[in-house]
Every structure is written in C-alpha cells, then in structure tokens.
Amino acid sequence: KAYLFAGVEIRWRCDPALLANDDPVPAEAVLHYPGGLSDYLNDATADTALLVSTPFADLVELDGQKFEWAITWLGAGEDGFFHSYCNTVPTPSGGTHEAGFRQAITRALRSFGDLAGNRKAAEITADDVFAGTAVMLSVFLRDPQFQGQTKDRLVSADATRQTEQAARDRFEQWLAADAARANFLLDAAIERAEERKRRKKEREVARKSATRRLRLPGKLADCTASDTDLTELFLVEGDSAGGSAKQARDRKTQAVLPLRGKILNVASASTEKLGANQELSDLALALGVRPGKDFQLDDLRYGRVIIMTDADVDGAHIAALLMTYFYREMPALIEAGRLFLAQPPLYRMTQGGTTLYALDDAQREELEKSGFDGRGKIEISRFKGLGEMPPGQLKETTMNAATRRLLRVDLPRRDSSGADARRGVDQLVSTLMGKKAELRFGYIRDHADDVLADLDV
C-alpha cells in the first residue's frame, strides 16, 4: 500500500518476542516511497538488465480520478510482468485499465513511427510493444466494476478510454524528448512484429502440410481457412447437435467436432485411462496438439475453441468436464484466452411476428414482463437440446459471430514473485471434480445458499 500512496509513511512495530528466529518480518520498519510506482518498479527490477536507463513513469488526474504508471523495457531473456491495481485492489487477471494502457503505449509508438516516416510502425501490435516489459499500473476510479467476488479483474467500461486518455499524451511527450531512445524502442517492436509474422507464416505452411498428412477424426467437419486469427472449433455433444451445427456453421472459418456423451473426468481418471480414451484422443488430434507437458500453443489449428452444449444441467456438466480437461492438460490454451463457452438459449418466445430467445428462466421472466409490446399470448417453447433447434435458429442465436454471445474462460496469471495465484483454482477443481466425494459434499453444504436461486430443480 505504501507504494500505491506516494505520500504515505507506514511505521511498523512488532514485539520481537512474537517473531520466530528465522522469521523474515522485522521488528521495526518504516515504509515510505515518495516515488510511488516508480520506486515500486525500481525495486522490482533492481537485479534485472534494462534496455532504457529511465522508466516512463507519471501520475495524471482526470475528472477527480487518478492514473499512475511506471513501465520499463527489460534485457533479452528477462521475464516481464504487468502488475495492476484499482483503488489499491490487486487485479491479477488484468481488465479494462490494462487494455487502455496497452492501447495508449502502442498507439503512441505507432504515431511516433508515422511521424518519423517509418511505414513498418503501422504493423506493430500491443504484444510486440509489451514483450519483455515490466509494468506497474494503479488507477483510482469512482464506482469501479469488478468481475466476480474475487475482484481480480476490472470490467469498468470507461476505464479503457480514460486510462488511454491519461497515458497516451504523456508517452508521446516522453518519446519526443529523446528521439534516439524512441527509435530504439520502435525498432525493437518492429523486429518482434516481423518475427511474429514470420512464425505465423511458418505455422500456416506447417498447418497446411500437416493437414494433408494428418488423419483427422472422421466426424470432424473442418473449415477451409487456415488463418488462426479467423478459425474456431465448436465442440458439441452428440451427433444430433453436431448435425445441426454443421449445417449452421460458416464453412470457411468454423469447424465442428461432435463428442459422444459425457467425456472422461480427467481429474479422477488414471493416466492409463486418459491415454486410452478415444474421445479425448480425437479432440487432441483435431486441435493438432499433444496434451500434457508436450502441449505447444503454436501447434493449435484454431484460433478459438468453443464449448457448445445444451443450456441445461447435463450440458453444464459436459462443459465442466471439458473445462477440467483443458485446465489439466492444456492450461496454456486458457491462459492465451482461446477457450470459450457458447451461450445457446433455453427458451424460444413468440408473440405475433416477434420472436425472442431467453438464456435461462430469469431472462425468460424478464422478457415476459417487458420484452413484448403486443397484448396477445406469448408462446414459449423450451429447447430440449441443440439437436432439436433448426440450423437457422442455431446460427442466429449461438454460432453467428455478429449475433451470438460467448463467455471467455479466464485464468489468473502467475505472479512473478513466485506465489501461484492459481493455487486456489487448482484446489477448487480438485474439490469439485476429484475422487473424494466428501470434499464435494462439504463444498455444496458450505455454498448451497449462494446458488439456491439458480438451482434447476
């Protein structure tokens, strides 16, 4: 907290009798960092090789809100990090403030390149700019919105624009103050962009040749495009839903792999069972990757993997089994933000010529009250499964990128200090999906009140 409040001095005292001999906690200490995040960054990179002698650090107040940051570029082989906070709450999963800062730095560097007459600057992305960087970002917002109860991700819509507005002008001034330094950073980003494009081209060539060699699962309806920026694989339950999905898909960019019923629960299965399971073998084959420690994200044949199951309890169970599989065997896929859950409707509601779709009972009740303007009877039909939904409706509600809704599956990043922010996730997966039924029972007993209103009984 002392780093986040530059003017605060925290004085710590503790009775030495309460401390063990090997306890690293001091009996007395004064925590005071007048440089704020700049001091934080300097301490965090004290033993790290740096590419620039002076970090870009500043604090801006806009409309009664504060935006403070510090960023530096690390030497070759050094691991970067991005630590962010909102109102002193750590946001290890990032969010809209991080997105705004990334946009500010990237667009400012592109703008500098454009003014310098460097045409290649237009091709750099945020990943090219932020590779090998160490970043500290702290914002103080009115009424911030977080994702979930853990508040590990900021979702305030205005934070992206506000953070970019606060940081971009200051970074453009910082670049203009030292043209040699700015050109050095620009050249480094362009070099990474060219390397990224070269690797992408190599992957596309390898993918095309691998597809010719690969014996893909017979039930896979593959797409014709090979650009992973465009392609996606839908995992659907059963041949019936698979048939509808194959008719509803965009054949150029969307592939469909039907799965037979509930897949193996990898959290409670032996290694032998996992290796012998045909459904999971077909899934890995379709993705073009090897599960476990041999997984390579660059080998993935699709840009997105979308779990599309029925909007009922059985569908949720299958989705949970698939997420468990990806978490245990391909966590890098989730870390890269490439695993999604489709949101098919549970109800179709019609009044006259107006048709609306509801994801669940709560939305159905809301639409009954305010979704229709007419006075006639509202006809409501519940979908028993994706297989009974006409391909046109499935496309409109669940598969068409222009009209669908997707939920991205996220994981907290690993903390560069060595603490594993995912330890709690791993424990939760083991509790809910592992062999010990008594752990599940205890979890249900402790959290039943939290989900009572959402139970499908």
Over the chain, what is the mean pLDDT? Answer: 87
Catalytic residue among 314, 365, 379, 420: 314
Question: Could you give the CA distance from residue 271 to residue 269 in angstroms, rounded to a whole number?
Answer: 7
Residues 6+ apart with CB under 8 A from 291: 280, 284, 329, 330
Query: Do 228 and 179 reside in the same domain of the chain?
Result: no
Q: Name 61's bridge partners.
A: 66
Mean pLDDT of 381-393: 83
Q: What is the pLDDT of residues 160-171, one digit of tens each?
A: 999 999 999 999
Q: What is the pLDDT of residues 97-150, one digit of tens each?
A: 999 999 999 999 999 999 999 999 999 999 999 998 999 999 999 999 998 777
Query: Do 313 and 428 reside in the same domain of the chain?
Result: yes
Q: Quick check: is 222 catalytic?
A: no
Instruction: Indicate if the pLDDT at residue 35 is higher than 80.
Output: yes
State the number of CA atoms in the 13 A half-sphere of 163 facing the CB.
29
Catalytic residue among 158, 279, 312, 410: 312
Q: What is the pLDDT of residues 254-289, one digit of tens each?
A: 999 998 867 888 888 887 788 788 888 889 989 999
Instruction: Indicate if the pLDDT at residue 457 is higher than 60.
Output: no
Q: What share of the chain in percent tops pLDDT 70?
A: 94
Q: Band of the pLDDT at 209, cuts 50, 70, 90?
A: low
Looking at residue 422, which CATH number applies to its domain?
Answer: 3.40.50.670
Please report whether residue 134 resides in a domain.
yes
Query: Do 103 and 189 reside in the same domain of the chain?
Result: yes
Q: Quick check: is 282 catalytic?
A: no
Catalytic residue among 58, 98, 232, 310: 310
Q: What is the pLDDT of residues 283-340, one digit of tens each?
A: 998 999 988 888 999 999 999 999 998 888 888 899 999 999 999 999 999 999 999 9
Query: Do 188 and 310 reside in the same domain of the chain?
Result: no
Query: Do 181 and 286 reside in the same domain of the chain?
Result: no
Q: Band of the pLDDT at 417, cuts 50, 70, 90?
A: very low
Query: Do 257 and 292 reside in the same domain of the chain?
Result: yes
**Full domain range(s) for residue 407:** 221-345+392-454
Query: Do 165 and 297 reside in the same domain of the chain?
Result: no
Q: What share of the chain in percent tops pLDDT 90?
A: 44
Catalytic residue among 39, 237, 282, 329: 237
Q: Quick check: is 298 catalytic?
A: no
Per-residue pLDDT, 418: 41
Query: Do 423 and 367 reside in the same domain of the chain?
Result: no
Hey, what's the torsion of the CAs at 421, 145, 83, 120, to 10 degrees?
120
Q: Quick check: is 366 catalytic?
A: no
Please report whether residue 215 resides in a domain.
no
Per-residue pLDDT, 415: 57
Overall domain count for the chain: 3
Query: Do 257 and 289 reside in the same domain of the chain?
Result: yes
Question: Could you give the CA distance from residue 101 to residue 79 in angstroms, rounded to a whole number?
Answer: 20
